[in-house]
Amino acid sequence: TAMVSQGPRLLLLGLLLYVFSPSVSHAGKLLLIPVDGSHWLSMHVIIQQLHQRGHDILVVAPEASVYIEEGSYYTLKKYPVPFQKENVAATFAELGHAVFENNPFLLRVIKTYKKVIRDSALLLSACTHLLQNAPLMTSLQESHFDALLTDPFIPCGTILAQYLALPTVYYLNALPCSLDMKATQCPNPLSYVPKLLSANSDHMSFLQRVKNVLIALTENFLCDVVYSPYAALASEILHKKVTVYDLLSSASIWLLRTDFVKDYPRPIMPNIVFLGGMNCLEKKPISQEFEAYVNASGEHGIVVFSLGSMVSEIPEKKAMEIAEALGRIPQTVLWRYTGSRPSNLAKNTILVKWLPQNDLLGHPKARAFITHSGSHGIYEGICNAVPMVMMPLFGDQMDNAKRMETRGAGVTLNVLEMTADDLENALKAVINDKSYKENVTRLSRLHKDRPIEPLDLAVFWVEFVMRHKGAPHLRPAAHDLTWYQYHSLDVIGFLLAIVLTVVFIVFKCCAYGFRKCFGKKGQVKKTHKSKTH
């Protein structure tokens, strides 16, 4: 007998829900405080969906935003800040440039640290100018939103939510320094949960575990520099002393753009919802221009190449090396690149300013995907089951690459050190060695086999928080404990004290009893002894 597929059941469920759903529920009002850059870009799909479901969405962003622009499915309100769009654009451009500056390790650490200090001062200044903008604050207060949606990477929206007393939904990839785990009271065993930016897997050698612990011990320093000013700002605005954890832990629901096909299984909390691969199923037909390229590629098919939206150009020498390697494979390469055209570009390589990445990867002729291994790209690679050659540049990209590599779905290259030969070999490996395709196909099957689509899940939980004014039933009681209570140190101390007291009393009693029984003899001896002196 043929197995009844999930379809009819869901169809019936949909019908039932449609018939029985309350017909006069009103649209909600949602306040959205985004983070500029790729963080904002990854929010589009959920905003669009919420708009389609009838909600009014107000996006509040600094005038100097680079990526945040007017859109058809939300209202944008910009507020003045004492810097220009060009300043922000420069910080994004630096991100890409810094990758290709082949500086010694210590110099890179210092440069990165200085950049973090500079950038976070800019971001903090923007946040201050939002929260101290009295007319804007009044207008937001009078708008009576149902909930606030924000990316807590910059905890400005978090402070605003507290100020406006709005239930909050977070939408994020991850927070640095395990701030997300700490703020959700989520246990985070260092022995098998790799730290962000460690490039460790979940199976670590002894020295990798040492590295994991060392990162955990030192990361708070950098995070304090970035995040503690927000605690100070919040304390001022809210007229009460708050810490970064107080701020972050106020969220009702954490929507994490990850899943356990990409990430390693680890403890989670009931108010964390996993949305990995949310934008992958949305497929549009490929435009005529790209269709022509794909058709012309013949039996060899195509390779899709993009280093993401944040890196626009790379040094000429590196670009030429890459171009040389691409010329050595029989596939047609579609390379998204906005820098100047490398002089040695081969005929099989087509430079484009933009490409429909997910649609191209979904084409049966896609043979490999050269990616900077940002989380979006990784999910599009998994979803479409295309083996990957990964060139991680910054942030969590190294971790993403490690995850795919340990699962045999791709090859990682060091973009600084790699030669044309390395890239050529990596490409030929993932295209010709069937294991890569098999592994990524297995991952793809697991990833896409889920009881509910992540986008529906995201919309459900945002609306849940709007309907119920939060999700207090998912808040663990751990938030109400001190650190020593959480670890039961006071109880252990108390029990130890009892045990020691009992041991002491028993010992004393025994000693006393011993003295009573044998004491006189001993005393006599003692007296006798002292007399002999």
> Segment 489-508, which members bind its own copies (CB under 8 A)?
490-492, 494-495
3-state secondary structure of 343: coil
Nearer to its own copies, 281 or 416 (CB): 281
158 burial level (CB within 10 Å; 0-12, 13-18, 19+): buried
Nearer to its own copies, 299 or 480 (CB): 480
Sign, CA torsion 247/250/252/254: positive
Among 107, 113, 241, 460, binds its own copies (CB under 8 A): 460
In the window 385-444, what residues touch its own copies (CB under 8 A)?
A: 443
Nearer to its own copies, 313 or 453 (CB): 453
Q: How far is the CB of 206 from its own copies (least distance, A)?
A: 7
Nearer to its own copies, 12 or 509 (CB): 12
Among 106, 165, 452, 517, binds its own copies (CB under 8 A): 452
Residue 106 touches its own copies, criterion: CB under 8 A: no
In the window 156-195, what residues touch its own copies (CB under 8 A)?
A: 186-187, 189-192
Nearer to its own copies, 25 or 432 (CB): 25
Q: Could you tell me which stretch among 15-23, 67-75, 311-319, 387-395 binds its own copies (CB under 8 A)?
A: 15-23
The torsion angle over the Cα atoms of residues 247, 250, 255 and 260, rounded to 10 degrees, is: 90
Q: Could you tell me which stretch among 129-137, 324-332, 431-439, 458-466 binds its own copies (CB under 8 A)?
A: 458-466
In the window 341-370, what residues touch its own copies (CB under 8 A)?
A: none
Nearer to its own copies, 10 or 121 (CB): 10
Within 10 angstroms of residue 357's Cβ, the number of other Cβ atoms is 21
Residue at token pair 């922000």: 88
Among 118, 240, 468, 520, binds its own copies (CB under 8 A): 468
Residue at token pair 């009460």: 240
Q: Closest by alpha carbon to 307, among 363, 369, 385?
A: 369
Q: How far is the CB of 143 from its own copies (least distance, A)?
A: 17
Main-chain dihedrals φ then ψ at residue 143, nearest 5 degrees: -80, -15
Q: How far is the CB of 33 from its own copies (least distance, A)?
A: 23
Q: What is the 3-state secondary structure (H, E, C) of 87-130?
A: HHHHHHHHHHHHHHCCCCHHHHHHHHHHHHHHHHHHHHHHHHHH
Nearer to its own copies, 18 or 105 (CB): 18
Q: Which amino acid is at 118?
A: R
In the window 20-49, what residues touch its own copies (CB under 8 A)?
A: 20-28
Alpha carbon separation from 247 to 36, 156, 238, 244, 276 (Å, rounded): 20, 10, 11, 5, 25
As a whole number of angstroms, the distance between CA 237 and CA 223 comes to 21
Q: How far is the CB of 215 from its own copies (least distance, A)?
A: 12
Q: Closest by alpha carbon to 198, among 183, 219, 180?
A: 219
CA atoms within 13 A on the CB side of 52: 9
Nearer to its own copies, 372 or 475 (CB): 475
Residue at token pair 């990616």: 371
In the window 188-217, what residues touch its own copies (CB under 8 A)?
A: 189-192, 202-203, 206, 209-210, 213-214
Nearer to its own copies, 234 or 273 (CB): 273
Among 236, 405, 438, 453, binds its own copies (CB under 8 A): 453
The torsion angle over the Cα atoms of residues 523, 527, 529 and 531, rounded to 10 degrees, is: 180
Q: Could you tell me which stretch among 19-27, 71-79, 149-157, 339-347 binds its own copies (CB under 8 A)?
A: 19-27
Q: How far is the CB of 262 from its own copies (least distance, A)?
A: 10
Residue 304, strand partner residues: 334, 369
Q: Which amino acid is at 501?
A: T
As a whole number of angstroms, the distance between CA 486 and CA 180 comes to 18
Nearer to its own copies, 134 or 452 (CB): 452
Among 80, 82, 270, 330, binds its own copies (CB under 8 A): 270
As a whole number of angstroms, the distance between CA 82 and CA 125 comes to 8
Nearer to its own copies, 14 or 522 (CB): 14
Write the interaction track for its own copies spanning residues 222-261; mark x where CB under 8 A is met and - where it is not.
Answer: --------------------------------------xx
# residues near its own copies by CB under 8 A: 85
Residue 98 CB partners (closer than 8 Å, separation 6+): 108, 111, 112, 115, 394
Size of the chain in residues: 533
Q: How far is the CB of 461 from its own copies (least distance, A)?
A: 8
Q: How far is the CB of 181 from its own copies (least distance, A)?
A: 10
Exposure letters 235-270 (e unless 16+ CB within 10 A, then b): bebeeeebebebbbbbbbbbbbbbbebbbeeeebbe
In angstroms, the first-to-last Cα distance of the chain is: 105
Among 36, 40, 47, 55, binds its own copies (CB under 8 A): 55
Nearer to its own copies, 56 or 313 (CB): 56
Q: Could you tell me which stretch among 115-123, 336-344, 389-397, 480-488 binds its own copies (CB under 8 A)?
A: 480-488
